[in-house]
Chains A and B, each alone.
Chain A
Amino acid sequence: MQFATRALLRTVAAGLIGLGAVLSSTAQNADAIATVDQLHGALLDIMQNARTLGYAGRRDRIAPVVRESFDLPFIARFALGRYWSELDFEERETFVNVFSRWTVAHYAARFNGYSGEKFEVVSVEPSRRERELVRTVLDVPNESAADVTLDYLLHETDGKWRIINVIANGVSDLSLKRADYGAVMKTQGFKNLVERLEGQVLELADGG
């Protein structure tokens, strides 16, 4: 009898642990999707109001959302790869700062019009090291342009799920940046990289 009770308790406990894992993983999924949805919503907003907002308006509207939905310090660090460890504290701050402004400028400049595009979440799956991969599609109604698959990799930091990579049609943005920034660091050094990023922020503003 005692044996049976213990077995029963054990089964119930295992079941509860399992249920807990399932519930918390669904909660993680939902939080990761919420972050991506928030970004997509803000992008649609600046696309649909692109003309009236102008570049500065789009930048100001998207900035808080980009800063909240991406883990920009993490991305900046990863993009510099092994060169990060060669920077002192101040240089690191400088880099995260310019990189964050560049990312905001990039979104404000590129999402500058609307022709019926739709963002759709296709699936969400747990990835290694407690990360979540949210797979989405940018549905482009124009038949001469193909739809774009956008996969977002997220992790949790400070109690919020944030994007650490965007993979567009199978091409990882983070890997591209890492290779490109690495090439500049190797041949021209940190100061030059920062100057070039600053230069692009200005160019993006002019072009928008």
Chain B
Amino acid sequence: MAANRLLAPVWFVLFVLTGTGCVSIPGEPDPNDPWEPFNRSMYDFNDGIDKDIIAPVADLYLKLPDGGRTAIHNFLVNLGYPTTIINQFLQGKFERGLEDTMRFIFNTTFGLLGFIDIAGPTGLARNQEDFGQTFAVWGIPQGNFLTLPILGPQTVRSAVGWPLDFVTKPLFWIETPGEFAALVGVNIVDTRARLAPAIKLRDETAFDPYIFTREAYLQQRQNLIYDGNPPVRDLEDLDLLQEDRLLEEQKREGKIQ
């Protein structure tokens, strides 16, 4: 049964891929996103499912009282926390790994299966680690940007890590299929509800929502990999800008053609 749970998403992905026929768009591919035509068709597919099914349910979920939603969210985060703990250790962050282990134990017991985040009020930050981040810390390159059905934006690296993330969550090992399916469903809805403000911002301001999602996702991943302190990438871009400003001034002054 465990094998089926892992293979089901794979079959689903293959099913969708054959269905959409991987359209190719003429023109030069963006070197930063060589699979853009494929990614865009997956993006549209996901967006359709989101608008038709997931977003309406998430809207209902957001109508629940704050306290109830927080408890459900806490429970789900706790249920996935072993993945974070394992990856803290794999990344050599032993202190954080121990803190997270304590958090998991306290929340599961005194926090009534995680519905209450006991450590929350102490100000101890909740961490989010996964195998994709661990691969990054180990120096494995991220590979191309990739959009997968349902799973959404990924990099090759994070997509390879995903099955490992899944099997290290207690959620994966829940035996009753009904309970398993229900929890996966609630997990998707809770994630969507959490993302609602960002998606709203995107829908209101982005001219090309696919590009906006891609850039935001890649930066957000970078932020997670560096635990909130990424090297500020656009400083380099800004420096480039200064250089081309200089170039322009020189042109104006007739120093170069």
**Residue A205 at the chain B interface, CB threshold 8 Å:** no
Which residues of B are found within 8 Å of A48, using beta-carbon distances? none
Which residues of B are found within 8 Å of A204, using beta-carbon distances? 204
Bound Cα distance A106, B197 (Å)? 15
Which range holds the interface residue count of chain B? 35 or more
Bound Cα distance A154, B70 (Å)? 36
**Residue A196 at the chain B interface, CB threshold 8 Å:** yes
Which residues of B are found within 8 Å of A127, using beta-carbon distances? 232, 235
- B222-A165 in contact (CB<8A): no
- B237-A143 in contact (CB<8A): no
Check A196/B232 contact, CB under 8 A, given A129-B242, A170-B219, A170-B222.
Answer: no
- A180-B207 in contact (CB<8A): yes
Interface 9-residue window, one of B12-20, B88-96, B208-216: B208-216
Residue of A nearest to B73 (CB): A144
- B234-A172 in contact (CB<8A): yes
Which residues of A are found within 8 Å of B69, using beta-carbon distances? 144
Bound Cα distance A144, B76 (Å)? 14
- B239-A180 in contact (CB<8A): no
Q: Which of B70, B224, B234, B244 contacts A175 (CB 8 A)?
A: B234
**Residue B233 at the chain A interface, CB threshold 8 Å:** yes
**Residue B206 at the chain A interface, CB threshold 8 Å:** yes
Check A169/B66 contact, CB under 8 A, given A153-B232, A175-B237.
Answer: no
**Residue A167 at the chain B interface, CB threshold 8 Å:** yes
Which residues of B are found within 8 Å of A200, using beta-carbon distances? 204-205
- A169-B207 in contact (CB<8A): no
- A171-B219 in contact (CB<8A): yes
**Residue A17 at the chain B interface, CB threshold 8 Å:** no
**Residue A174 at the chain B interface, CB threshold 8 Å:** yes
Complex interface bits, A68-104 against B, C-beta within 8 A gives 1, otherwise 0:
0000000001100110010000000000000000000
Q: Which of A144, A178, A181 contacts B66 (CB 8 A)?
A: A144
Name 8 extra pairs, CB < 8 A, besides A133-B232, A171-B216, A179-B214: A78-B237, A129-B238, A165-B234, A170-B220, A175-B234, A175-B237, A182-B211, A200-B205
Lowest 10 A-B CB distances belong to which pairs?
A170-B223, A183-B208, A144-B66, A179-B215, A171-B219, A144-B70, A183-B211, A184-B207, A172-B234, A175-B234
11 residue pairs from A and B, CB less than 8 Å apart = A77-B241, A78-B237, A82-B244, A128-B239, A144-B67, A165-B238, A178-B237, A181-B207, A183-B211, A184-B208, A196-B207
